[in-house]
Amino acid sequence: MRVKLKVNGYWVDVDVEPHETLLNVLRDKLKIRSVKYGCGIGECGSCTVLLDGRPVTSCLVLVAGLDGASVETADYIAKTELGTRIVDALLLEGAIQCGYCTPGFLVTIYAALKSGVIKRGDSEEVAKAISGNICRCTGYVNITKAVRRVVEELASSTS
Partner 1 sequence: MLSINRVNTYRIPFTFEYYRPRTLREALELLRSVEEARVIAGGTDLLVDMKFRRAEPKALVDVSKLEELRFVRLAGSYVEIGSAVTLQELVESELVRARLPLLWEAVNSMASWQVRNIATIGGNICNASPAADTAPPLLAYEARLLLTSLDGVREVGIGEFFVGPKRSTIRSDEILQLIRVPLHPTGYGWSFKKISRTSFDIAKISVAVLLKTVEGKIKDPRVAFGAVAPTPVRARSTERAIEGVSLEEALEIGPRFVERDIAPIDDVRSTAWYRREVARAILRDSLRVAYERSLSSG
CB nearer to partner 1: pick between 82 and 88: 82
Q: Using the rule CB under 8 A, is 82 a contact of partner 1?
A: no
Q: Using the rule CB under 8 A, is 131 a contact of partner 1?
A: yes
Closest CA to 140 of 154, 126, 151: 126
Q: Distances in Å between the alpha carbon of 35 and those of 31, 65, 100, 116, 159? A: 9, 19, 10, 24, 35
Distance CA 143, CA 86 (A): 10
Report whether 20 contacts 64 (CB < 8 A). Answer: yes
Q: By CB under 8 A, which span of 57-65, 70-78, 80-88, 92-100 interacts with partner 1?
A: 57-65
| Alpha-carbon dihedral 7, 10, 16, 19, rounded to 10 degrees | 10
Q: Using the rule CB under 8 A, is 42 a contact of partner 1?
A: yes
Is 73 buried (19+), middle (13-18) or exposed (0-12) by CB count in 10 A? buried
CB nearer to partner 1: pick between 76 and 105: 105
Tell me which of 4, 15, 33, 65 binds partner 1, using CB under 8 A: 65
Tell me which of 32, 55, 102, 140 binds partner 1, using CB under 8 A: 55
Q: Minimum Å distance from CB 146 to partner 1?
A: 18
Q: Minimum Å distance from CB 37 to partner 1?
A: 5
Q: Minimum Å distance from CB 82 to partner 1?
A: 18
Residues at the site binding partner 1, with contacts judged by CB under 8 A = 1, 17-21, 23-24, 37, 39-43, 45, 48, 51, 54-57, 59-62, 64-65, 67, 108, 112, 117, 129, 131-133
